[in-house]
Structure 1
């Protein structure tokens, strides 16, 4: 981990002004590069989070999402933006109930309930963005942009991807470019169990971390779950899409397969770079399933 564990005095002073009182501070960063998050606590067991975005684009995306789309999820289902600082790329956020699903040990019934509610909330988010003007153009070009990134990732992955797998990825990227227009949405962009909150006490779900939120094809929000959670748990796929209110169209299902190939190569680039064996394993497993023709 390369981030500092202490909060800079200037940021603490900024947060103190925004909250109206000096909070106690605890490092809450994820164990990965560029994660800088602190829990700020006030008397009365009131908690906030101060997050430093890794880069300006992520700050802009998360700020837009929290101001204009995430409120549609409802109180307690997404953080509220208390204050922001473009100079520091800093976001001061309210806490929401629960813990990330990835950190919990739940019964299968609880998991189904959490994923169903997660799907409900994604449907609200997808409908919340204003798809007009340049935002519609951004969404319409999202699949093309994803396909355009394939060659760069293949080059960086090198020998971790076999010639036959390289051909398959290129073929699927080409098919992605040829798809007819798909449903568009304002997507979360990082929708999986690390960012899906669940409160067992309240039986309530919520979504965190909107730094990759953007206008895109709606199906792009299901890639991470399709390549990870849903592989061994088709019941959670069914629950999420039941909550979402519809199944994927045949065209979206094919797009999901194409996008999974791109995600796999990306995992085989970033997994080794970040020394994250779980990301690497996800990419390898996805490619193996695509080669075997069992991805669904």
Structure 2
């Protein structure tokens, strides 16, 4: 394992306890600040991804999505959460075939539609279990969460030179201004 792919010792031990003896580790981090992702292969040639969230809020949001949204998609259509550790804050995910949306060459319109569908799915998964319309307080919370997410994206994008993150923040602000969350 080279320094570029080296996984911290306590994280590697946790991964081994979770999925069994690891035979290979490769960096799968993206070209952005704070990205810490590894692809691990266990002795049975099964692949997993280990992801350490850069901030507790990201960990909370992602583990929520893996627990409550991904099951709605059906088996094999998205990575599944194998285990998570809030102390690290890390996740072990199954590997699925395909290319992540942000690594595909798609038109702006197709990419926007994919994000719109994901937002609709997340909103339905998050609030669908209630079996009722959102209360005024829940609706207000949804708008607040969207605004907080937009502010975070704009700040992170500006700080790290992350154009896609900044654009996501701007799109969320545009949707807020149009009343999409009302």
Tell me the TM-score range normalised by the shorter chain: 0.5 to 0.7
Deviation at 1:272, TM superposition (A): 4.1
Is 1:46 the counterpart of 2:23? The answer is no
Q: For the Cα contact (< 8 Å) 1:73–1:121, is it kept in 2?
A: no
Q: Distance in 1 between matches of 2:54 and 2:26?
A: 19
Q: For each residue in 1:151-207, what CA deviation from the matched residue of structure 2 results, as whole angstroms up to 9, or x when unmatched?
A: xxxxxxxxxxxxxxxxxxxxxxxxxxxxxxxxxxxxxx7xxxxxxxxxxxxxxxxxx
Which residue does 2:126 correspond to in 1?
129
Which residue does 1:69 correspond to in 2?
69
Q: Distance in 2 between matches of 1:36 and 1:274?
A: 15
Q: For the Cα contact (< 8 Å) 1:25–1:38, is it kept in 2?
A: yes
Deviation at 1:144, TM superposition (A): 4.5
Which residue does 2:177 correspond to in 1?
none
Which residue does 1:165 correspond to in 2?
none
Q: Distance in 2 between matches of 1:121 and 1:276?
A: 21
Give runs of aligned pairs for residues 216-231 of structure 1, distance below 5 A. Answer: none
Total equivalences in the alignment: 162
Which residue does 1:274 correspond to in 2?
160
Deviation at 1:279, TM superposition (A): 5.9
SS of structure 1 residue aligned to 2:91? strand
Which residue does 1:168 correspond to in 2?
none
Bigger Cα displacement from structure 2, 7-16 vs 271-280 = 271-280
Deviation at 1:277, TM superposition (A): 5.6
Structure ID, larger Rg: 1
Give runs of aligned pairs for residues 176-187 of structure 1, distance below 5 A. Answer: none
Give runs of aligned pairs for residues 182-193 of structure 1, distance below 5 A. Answer: none
Q: Distance in 2 between matches of 1:75 and 1:31?
A: 29
Q: Distance in 2 between matches of 1:30 and 1:75?
A: 25
Which residue does 2:20 correspond to in 1?
20
Bigger Cα displacement from structure 2, 92-101 vs 56-65 = 56-65
Which residue does 1:179 correspond to in 2?
none
Greater RCO (Cα-Cα under 8 Å, separation 6 or more): 1
Deviation at 1:28, TM superposition (A): 0.9
Q: Distance in 2 between matches of 1:79 and 1:61?
A: 15
Q: For each residue in 1:36-86, what CA deviation from the matched residue of structure 2 results, as whole angstroms up to 9, or x when unmatched?
A: 111111245421111111122222222222112221111122221101112
TM-score norm. by structure 1 comes to 0.44
Q: For the Cα contact (< 8 Å) 1:73–1:125, is it kept in 2?
A: no
Q: Distance in 2 between matches of 1:120 and 1:97?
A: 21
SS of structure 2 residue aligned to 1:87? coil
Which residue does 2:30 correspond to in 1?
30
